[in-house]
Amino acid sequence: MSTTAEQPAPASAQRSGIPLSVYVHLPWCVRKCPYCDFNSHRAPAELPETAYIDALLADWALAAADEKRPIDTVFFGGGTPSLFSAGAIGRILAALDARLGLSSDCEITLEANPGTTERTRFADLRAVGVNRLSLGIQSLDNDCLSALGRIHGATEALAAIDDARAGGFTAINCDLMFGLPGQTHARAMADIDGIIEREPGHISYYQLTLEPNTPFYRQPPALPDDDAVVEIFEHAGERLRSAGYTQYEVSAWAQPGKACRHNENYWRFGDYLGIGAGAHGKRTRVDGHIERSARQRWPTGYMSVAGRPASIAESRLLDKDDACFEFLLNGLRRRAGVTRNDYEQRTGLDWQALGTTLAEPIAQGLVAFDRQTLRATERGWRFLDTILAEVLP
């Protein structure tokens, strides 16, 4: 852990102006996908729902102990959160609200797998307060879905979108992947056209990557080459823009007013408390220092110590270099870039000094920098790694 003298220290009075989100990790899936490197585990025959929710609530008391800010957004991720009952989700939301309060317009997102949902479940989730769904569609091509190890097919994927609407949801995100095993340009365009036709407010469109410690990494499938992937991404972007979607982040497209506030809080270096097995958190402490933390990863081990300091597997304070790098790592993914107010408030660092640090990428035309904003240029957006290398700790 870095020494206190090295920490950026925004005035504690400014802490109240930094939004607070909550991430809740529900770690079980019906089956682990071969490309997935998330902290997810195959569900046992009988899901320990009550025991796990009890552990989450104990964890919440620990995580929120010195917090007073209301909660602006909540995100249930996994794993497959839709394996849990609406009653269990309602218990968690009631506990969050009782301790800190959910803001009047709190965005509450839950990830759902089309293979584990149906119309009645959606209506029940809406009734307990969930107001945004993120559906893991991934593809509308049955061959590609099979290659990805998904438990649903195209019919179930499209039905999930319709059922979500019938269940009362107006805020829906569809996750869609490209660069898939066996995917041709025509198949990729059919995927994007099929999703656009259903008109979800938000589409997360991201490339399949082969992550270490996954079956796909150990035995890579045959994927489209780099040129084909670039062509798919560019042509999909053209279709999304023509349909009224705006790319507000590298992998995020939204209709007007439908951007994901929870993810925006991550990208703008806001604060979030993470509860659940392996959950990560980032918060500005009362003394102004920035702390990152992570819970124990294994569900059984986590449940045995939840609510006690032993449940925290990692905790560290960010020094000035870390804070600068992490702020830009997230913020430069946004089309709008970052603002001086966010940078100075959320890192405690000097804006003008940032201009000096990035002098080379500015001179190369990779970033545009003025008194109030910093953003990657159209060219620079393709070379974010080059820009970030200038501030790599």
pLDDT value for 120: 81
Is residue 2 very low, low, confident or very high in pLDDT (cuts 50, 70, 90)?
A: very low
Half-sphere exposure of 91 (CA within 13 A, CB side): 15
Is the pLDDT confidence value at 343 over 80? yes
| 89 in Cβ contact with 122 (< 8 Å) | no
pLDDT value for 219: 92
pLDDT above 70: percentage of residues in the chain:
96
pLDDT value for 354: 93
Distance CA 172, CA 329 (A): 27
Smallest CA-to-CA distance from 114 within 66, 174, 55, 197 is with: 174
pLDDT digits (tens, 9 = 90+) for 128-180: 999 999 999 999 999 999 999 999 999 999 999 999 999 999 999 999 999 99
pLDDT digits (tens, 9 = 90+) for 203-236: 999 999 999 989 988 999 999 999 999 999 999 9
Enumerate domains of the chain plus CATH numbers. Answer: 4-266 (3.20.20.70), 320-389 (1.10.10.920)
**DSSP secondary structure of 318-329:** --HHHHHHHHHH
- Residue 140: DSSP 8-state: S
pLDDT value for 98: 98
What is the value of pTM for the model shown? 0.94
Is the pLDDT confidence value at 104 over 60? yes
| 22 in Cβ contact with 271 (< 8 Å) | no
Is the pLDDT confidence value at 374 over 80? yes
Write b or e for each residue in 23-43: b if 16 or more Cβ atoms lie within 10 A of its Cβ, otherwise e: bbbbbbbeebbbbbebbbbeb
Angle, helix 185-198 to helix 154-166, in steps of 10 degrees: 20
pLDDT value for 268: 95
Is residue 9 very low, low, confident or very high in pLDDT (cuts 50, 70, 90)?
A: low
pLDDT value for 308: 97
pLDDT value for 37: 85
Distance CA 322, CA 134 (A): 31
Distance CA 342, CA 125 (A): 34
pLDDT value for 8: 60
pLDDT digits (tens, 9 = 90+) for 311-334: 999 999 999 999 999 999 999 999
The token duo for 89 is 């989700």
